[in-house]
Amino acid sequence: MDTPLAVRARGITKCFGDVVALDGIDLDVAQGQIHGLVGPNGAGKTTLLGLLLGLAVADGGRLEILGAPVGRALAAPDGVAGFVDGPGLYPSLTARQNLAALVALRGHDPRTGAISDVLDQVGLTDVADDRVRGYSLGMRQRLGLAAALLTRPRLLVLDEPSNGLDPAGKRHVHGVLTRLAADGTAVVVSSHRMDDLEALCSEATILATGRVVFSGPLSKLAAENRELDYRLLSSDLPAARRLAADTAGITVVDDARAWRGAEALVVRALVPALDELVAGLVRSGVAVRELAPVSSPLEAAFLALTEEEEEAGR
């Protein structure tokens, strides 16, 4: 049985005057999935997030969120929470007071334990009674996530949630999003941090000039993308170099790149050729100590897309 969709978009268009922000967008996001949204500046990511949050309406196409068609009114669909361009917060209030104000606006009792619970989830308990004006960017991002969690959303939409986060803050945020997805919440994350998206997302959509140029599992992106550069550390670098040179579809890019105090072989290949090289190394008794893309498949696709746009604009 197929997993129900939290987002189903077909042929979505959105214009601002003569500017076409979204041009026939199709998007599927399943419940319990963390879906990444990637693209150069001006690709239409913020516009699409705004449609999902009810901050704007599409000019054309059909959008369904949590199984219900989205109408023409500017209103956040039930069960949806998140933020675009950073969370809106009251700087003169503490974190706890900000959340209490949000709870009160929804007509609920702000004295419930939900506020303490979400502050704990995002790692802000120790500074919950400090005024937000003294918060760092990363702390504000975490507080924005806490505000979204108060509604127990079934679809969470986040714009650059890792912005300004230190390693501890990132760990908190990643843990929260992973647990939400495991409990069935759909999460859409827009970010320029490719490492974050690859650590979190099972699928991603890449936008360019308002159009989808890729949408699907990250593993599919790696298989379909142009050749990638891979860093190879082995027990016998000369033997690995010879095998790489003799393997069809493999190009040796750099045979002595320093990496963490050791020499590494850098090869360029598609996934099938890389698999053949690894099999050959194993047959020859050469241990593979590390094999990883120099740039991730998602980052490589993003850079290739950016380069193509720059060339088209010349």
E strand map for the chain: 5-16, 19-30, 34-38, 60-65, 68-69, 80-83, 155-159, 186-190, 203-208, 211-217, 228-234, 251-259, 262-269, 288-293
Query: Which neighbouring-strand residues pair with 69?
Result: 64
Cα separation, 251 vs 162, in Å, equals 36
Structure tokens belonging to residue 251: 């190009």
Give CA angle at 69 (67, 75), nearest 5°.
Answer: 110
Question: Shortest CA distance to 204 belongs to which of 188, 193, 192?
Answer: 188
Give, for all 314 residues of the chain, the pLDDT tens digit.
577 899 999 999 999 999 999 999 999 999 999 999 988 888 899 999 999 998 899 999 999 999 888 877 667 678 899 988 878 888 999 999 999 988 887 766 666 678 999 999 888 999 999 999 999 988 998 999 999 998 889 999 999 888 888 888 888 888 899 999 999 999 999 988 887 888 889 899 989 889 998 888 887 776 555 678 888 989 898 899 999 999 999 999 876 665 655 788 899 888 889 999 999 999 999 999 888 888 777 777 777 766 665 566 55
Give the pLDDT score at 112: 66
Give the pLDDT score at 247: 93
Total number of residues shown for the chain: 314
E strand map for 101-227: 155-159, 186-190, 203-208, 211-217
Give the pLDDT score at 259: 63
Quick check: 77 and 114 in contact, CB under 8 A? no
Query: Which neighbouring-strand residues pair with 271?
Result: none
Give the pLDDT score at 312: 60
Question: Shortest CA distance to 210 belongs to which of 26, 53, 82, 69?
Answer: 26
3-state class (DSSP) for residue 18: coil
Cα separation, 40 vs 208, in Å, equals 7
Instruction: Give the HSE-up count for residue 235: Cα atoms under 13 Å, Cβ half-sphere.
Output: 8
Structure tokens belonging to residue 54: 């009810």
Which amino acid appears at position 245 of this protein?
A
* Chain Cα centroid distance, residue 174: 11
The secondary element (H helix, E strand) that includes residue 178 is: helix 167-182
DSSP assignment of 206-221 equals EEETTEEEEEEEHHHH
3-state class (DSSP) for residue 228: strand
List the domains of the chain with CATH numbers. Answer: 5-222 (3.40.50.300), 227-313 (3.30.70)
Which amino acid appears at position 255 of this protein?
D
Neighbours of 69 (CB within 10 A): 10
